[in-house]
Structure 1
Amino acid sequence: MEEVLLGMGLFSNSLHVPRALVPQMLAMTVSDCVGLMLADWEAKLEMNRGPVEIDISCQFEEVAADVISHVAFGRNHKEAKEVYLVQKELQFLAFNSIFNVLNLIPGFRYLPTKNNLKMHMLEKQVRSILMNIIKNRVNCKDTVGYGNDMLGIILNACAPEHVQNPLMSMEEIIEECKTFYLAGHETTAQLLTWTMFLLSTHSEWQEKLREEVVRECGKDIPTDDKLNNMKLVNMFILETLRLYGPVTNIQRKTGSNLELGGIKVPEGTILSTPIKTIHRDKELWGKDAEEFKPQRFENGVGRAAKHPYAFLPFSIGPRACIGQNFTMIEAKVVFAMILQRFSVSLSPNYVHAPMDVFTIRPRYGLQVVINSLQI
């Protein structure tokens, strides 16, 4: 399944798609989705005959949802977009329930309270949408195949309706779809948001990055080779991930008794890694750990801090995020396409108040002022 899920499960060699083409195909998918947003910006600028203010965080959530819908569900992307809307509401209900002291009572979440009934209804709705998409794929297999999107590849590998001992049950496939959709959308949307926040507050870097994008791509859509040549863009995104990484904490359960730093840890212990704290630790990153300095990644991730594994936005090791390449490609394409056409500055209406709702997001949105460029 590693090959199957490469790059967020986009394509596999089993479907006659060369591995080298995966980033290029993803870049084209992203450009199609973000192009609609940028066209809307251009229309607003033309109507206003000058700079306009927009809440870019909301728009990035839409773009990220469009991208993951196309990548994961292909021809069913419109139905899958409903999953984004439902899970968004479900996410906030779940987050709010964390702070309800009544949830500390054993079994309270099973009581028919208004909030619990709403969450149960939304969970059933998500499952129903995904089940219908999967059944439709299975029923159409003999005529149009499973497809070469993430869902199609999983079905080709597991085929729960056609193999005597499938690798995954239907329920497991549904859960995988929910996980990939939530993880592939939410984290990328917030990365794009904070990248644009830092871009709008560091005009000197905005000019450097635009020069690099124009030099490498001109007005063309960034392809795999061109994305790899954007060293400054890559450094900028990595520094954004250090300061405003969407995930602030990861947990792991020990599979056996072990010893860490002289401390004996029994099997089954939940270990928590505070990524946000590590990323701003002055002992690891220097006295300027709180400052925005993309050049710290000039010699690569392993040399950016005093410890080679101090950078953890995607975790590390065999349990590292399987979608990190997907996220980086999407972020670079969106970033480059914006720099090609627009200048961005922070709106005076913006209030800096990051909050943690499963991911780090701006509490009141990100209001920026955009202006058109003539390149």
Structure 2
Amino acid sequence: MTRLTGDIISRTEFDTSYETGKRIFHLLEDLQRLTARSSRYLWIPGSQYFPSKYRREIGRLNGELEGVVMESIRRSREIADEGRTTSTYGRGLLAMLLAEMEKKREKGAGDDGKFSYDTRLVIDECKTFFFAGHETSALLLTWTLMLLATHPEWQDKARAEVSQVCGDDPPSADQLSKLTVVSRTVHMHT
């Protein structure tokens, strides 16, 4: 379930090809794992300044992630320049964030009238969205599936509703509001 939600968030966040999204997902997953391991030593005063294999690997992964995200930004910009999308940066959460930053820069936001385009800020926001979203979404889906498995009558209602509203096609954004049973089932834990 964690991999599924991670893949969905990667695609939503970066609007990339499957392979690029998969690469970003694995980099973020590795960063999360290493950060958790390295935090075991935080109780030692000054430990954040000690060199360690975890710190070196985290630094390497951060550099690689930055390169992949910058490539994704460049690719999104090319797609927009070719006219395949109306947004300046393409689609996806990253594109929306970059477009907002550009608007603020054009307006001259900030105390000193300047707006800085900070790549580090963009990457940190992407990490935050990913880390906050994929674990909680995975837990929500796991509990929802567990409850549906223990209450087959609701499982049948949800399945019938999806068949009636969507037919054989995957659900679209327009159809989500019509899936009331599914929505109630998911929102029971939110």
TM range (shorter): 0.7 to 0.9
Give 3-state SS (helix, strand or coil) of 2:168's partner: coil
CA shift, 1:175, in A, is: 1.7
Q: Report the CA distance shift for 1:215/1:135 in structure 2 as closer, same or farther (over 3 A).
A: closer
What amino acid is the match of 2:22? K
Report which stretch shifted further, 133-142 or 220-229: 133-142
CA shift, 1:166, in A, is: 3.3
What amino acid is the match of 1:192? L
Q: Report the CA distance shift for 1:148/1:107 in structure 2 as closer, same or farther (over 3 A).
A: same
- Quote the residue 1:132 is aligned against: 71
Cα deviation code 1:19-65 (max 9, x no counterpart):
xxxxxxxxxxxxxxxxxxxxxxxxxxxxxxxxxxxxxx3xxx34333
The 2-side partners of 1:230 and 1:198 are apart by: 18
Q: Report the CA distance shift for 1:103/1:149 in structure 2 as closer, same or farther (over 3 A).
A: closer
Q: Report the CA distance shift for 1:223/1:115 in structure 2 as closer, same or farther (over 3 A).
A: closer
What amino acid is the match of 1:155? L
- Quote the residue 1:367 is aligned against: none
- Quote the residue 2:94 is aligned against: 151
- Quote the residue 2:24 is aligned against: 83
Higher strand share: 1
Given that residues 216 and 230 in structure 1 are in contact (C-alpha distance below 8 angstroms), is that contact kept between their aligned partners in structure 2? Answer: yes
What amino acid is the match of 2:183? N
TM-score by length of 1: 0.41
What amino acid is the match of 2:66? R
Give 3-state SS (helix, strand or coil) of 2:15's partner: helix
The 2-side partners of 1:224 and 1:107 are apart by: 49
Given that residues 138 and 146 in structure 1 are in contact (C-alpha distance below 8 angstroms), is that contact kept between their aligned partners in structure 2? Answer: yes
How many residues are aligned here? Answer: 179
- Quote the residue 1:105 is aligned against: 44
- Quote the residue 1:200 is aligned against: 149
What amino acid is the match of 1:197? M
Q: Report the CA distance shift for 1:221/1:137 in structure 2 as closer, same or farther (over 3 A).
A: closer
Higher helix share: 2
The 2-side partners of 1:157 and 1:77 are apart by: 25
Task: Give unpaired runs (5+ residues) of structure 2.
Answer: 109-113
Given that residues 86 and 126 in structure 1 are in contact (C-alpha distance below 8 angstroms), is that contact kept between their aligned partners in structure 2? Answer: yes
2:61 counterpart of 1:122: yes
Q: Report the CA distance shift for 1:212/1:85 in structure 2 as closer, same or farther (over 3 A).
A: same
The 1-side partners of 2:17 and 2:163 are apart by: 35
CA shift, 1:85, in A, is: 0.4
2:162 counterpart of 1:219: no
Q: Report the CA distance shift for 1:152/1:115 in structure 2 as closer, same or farther (over 3 A).
A: closer
What amino acid is the match of 2:176? L
The 2-side partners of 1:141 and 1:220 are apart by: 28
Percent identity reads: 32
The 1-side partners of 2:91 and 2:71 are apart by: 18
What amino acid is the match of 2:45? P
CA shift, 1:198, in A, is: 2.0
CA shift, 1:151, in A, is: 2.3
TM-score by length of 2: 0.73
What amino acid is the match of 1:193? T
CA RMSD of the aligned region, Å? 3.0
CA radius of gyration, larger in: 1
- Quote the residue 1:251 is aligned against: none
Give 3-state SS (helix, strand or coil) of 2:128's partner: helix
The 2-side partners of 1:181 and 1:132 are apart by: 18
- Quote the residue 2:159 is aligned against: 210
Q: Report the CA distance shift for 1:228/1:114 in structure 2 as closer, same or farther (over 3 A).
A: same
- Quote the residue 1:250 is aligned against: none
Given that residues 162 and 179 in structure 2 are in contact (C-alpha distance below 8 angstroms), is that contact kept between their aligned partners in structure 1? Answer: yes
Give 3-state SS (helix, strand or coil) of 2:177's partner: helix
